[in-house]
Amino acid sequence: MAESKVIHLKPPEAWKFLQEHPEAVLIDVRTTAEHLFVGHPLGCILIPWKDGLPMQANPNFVAAVKAAVPDPKTPILFLCRSGHRSLEAAEAMAAAGYEILINIDEGFEGPLDPNKHRSTLGGWRFHGLPWEQS
């Protein structure tokens, strides 16, 4: 199996990267409901990797990213709840020829703690990075 081209950054590192690379694009690959009701980073673009109930793969994901980010040299950062769907999405874009792909480890909400709560051990919100909620 080929080595992944995807770079992994923790949320604070991803935020710093976005500040240093204004051409970079942040894509939220969570479901529409997660994006709207749980919250999302400021300035991100929503393109679900999977959506609906039950969650179904988005057959138009690659095409939607290509439409939003036509230049395959533009850095793209991918964010989901905890960093798993975003990695799959980044790998799909690597296969589509995109070059600078970053998975945000910990995602927006981070891993579950011993009480099965998120946002207590890691994630975009845990680190106090800019976000909003609908």
Q: Are strands 40-41 and 101-104 parallel, antiparallel or unpaired?
A: unpaired
Q: pLDDT per position in the chain (134 positions), as tens?
A: 445 689 999 999 999 999 999 999 999 999 999 999 999 999 999 999 999 888 899 999 999 999 999 999 999 999 999 999 999 999 999 999 999 999 999 999 999 999 999 999 999 999 999 999 98
- List of domains in the chain: 7-50+58-129 (3.40.250.10)
